[in-house]
Structure 1
Amino acid sequence: MRCLIAEDHLLSRRVLKELLSPDFDCDIAVNGREAIDSFVLAHEAKRPYDVILMDIMMPEIDGMEALKSVRSLEKKMQIPSHLAVKVIMITALGDPHTVIKSFNECEADSFIVKPLTRHKLATELRKLNVLK
């Protein structure tokens, strides 16, 4: 299984990679622009991601805008919705507006409020059927 970790905070990236590496081959993006570029490159290489963990607050392009771009690219690539990458938004912003916007406007599949724990992450990955 392949995973993209889009997170600008070094410690958070390390924790996520450590939690995911037993089950996933993980790539890293440090901002929204790199996340979009990584998504495109993965598809060009015929090795798309199974899941993206996307921080909302990142430099250059934030996680919500990056996810909107990913979903737009999937439509342009004519990727059927059942084959679309699963995206978990991760953020310290747990307010209802942010959560609703992530799902409704950005088409996120899941949402985790920091602090991130192994249990929270595993629960969401199982809900999305990307972890057994």
Structure 2
Amino acid sequence: MRVLLVEDAEPIRKSVARALRANGYAVDEASDGADGLFHATEYDYDVIILDIMLPKLDGREVLKKMRATENHTPVLMLTALDSIDDRVNGLRLGADDYLVKSFAIEELLARVEALTRRHYQQSQPLIKVCDIELNRANKTVFRAGIELNLTPQSFRLLELLMLRVDQVVTRNEIEEKIYDELNSPLSNVVESAMYALRKAITPKPDMPQLIKTRRGLGYVMQSNTL
């Protein structure tokens, strides 16, 4: 899952970004409203965390311009203002949730996760492909009854492939959805991550490989191993 974090206070931004990455999210950062609006309109995100008091363009204007372009990405607004009117105005502009500073990181993570579930309208967090079961709620993965120990990166990559079962997922899609701006698009991060994932989801050597490479196109997770 990819998150855009727009916050001008560097200590807060770095702390929140670090916590999000530690919990398996790819994070892009922006320190002012103009840069935040650029990212929000140019890239695809699962959730946007948007401070209100920003230089160049405040968070309300960023949100208003986003919604005017039919961008419906869930937005969690951050503010130091704790009045009812401020919250109501933010929600009326199109915010999906509101969090007042100073907040606990655990609460922010819970709100981001809730917005992600709502965005994908998850009534059932369990995804099944062949003998693999991935639970998006408690972040567990089983294959043939064996619990797999996946890194946050591998979990995100497997989730993406399982959601797109029998469809080719391109390298560019993986880079945009799984990785943040700290990764160079010229590096071999996708190939390395795919190798690690294939190894992690094959706890026994006689198990068939479910992820196939389509040379020049990308990768596909198959629903049928025959």
Secondary structure (helix, strand or coil) at the match of 2:109 reads helix
For residue 99 of structure 1, the aligned residue among 64, 87, 96 is: 87
Contact kept? 2:6, 2:32, Cα under 8 Å: yes
Cα distance per residue 1:46-65 (max 9 Å; x no partner): xx000110000001110011
Q: Which residue of 2 aligns with 1:31?
A: 32
**Residue 30 (structure 1) shift:** 0.9
The alignment's TM-score, normalised by the length of structure 2, stands at 0.50
Cα distance per residue 1:56-91 (max 9 Å; x no partner): 000111001101111112x2xxx6xxxx21100011
Secondary structure (helix, strand or coil) at the match of 1:4 reads strand
Whether 1:13 aligns to 2:1 is no
Moved over 4 A (4+): none
The runs of 5 or more residues in structure 1 that have no matched partner are: 43-47
Corresponding residue pairs, total: 118
Q: RMSD of the TM alignment (CA)?
A: 1.5
Larger radius of gyration: 2
Distance 2:112 2:4 in 1: 13
> Which residue type is aligned with residue 18 of structure 1?
R
Distance 2:64 2:15 in 1: 25
Whether 1:51 aligns to 2:47 is yes
Distance 1:62 1:95 in 2: 18
**Residue 122 (structure 1) shift:** 2.3
Distance 1:99 1:20 in 2: 24
Whether 1:119 aligns to 2:120 is no
Distance 2:28 2:64 in 1: 20
Q: Which residue of 2 aligns with 1:40?
A: 41
Cα distance per residue 1:18-65 (max 9 Å; x no partner): 1111321101111111111011221xxxxx000110000001110011
Distance 1:15 1:34 in 2: 19
> Which residue type is aligned with residue 87 of structure 1?
V
The alignment's TM-score, normalised by the length of structure 1, stands at 0.83
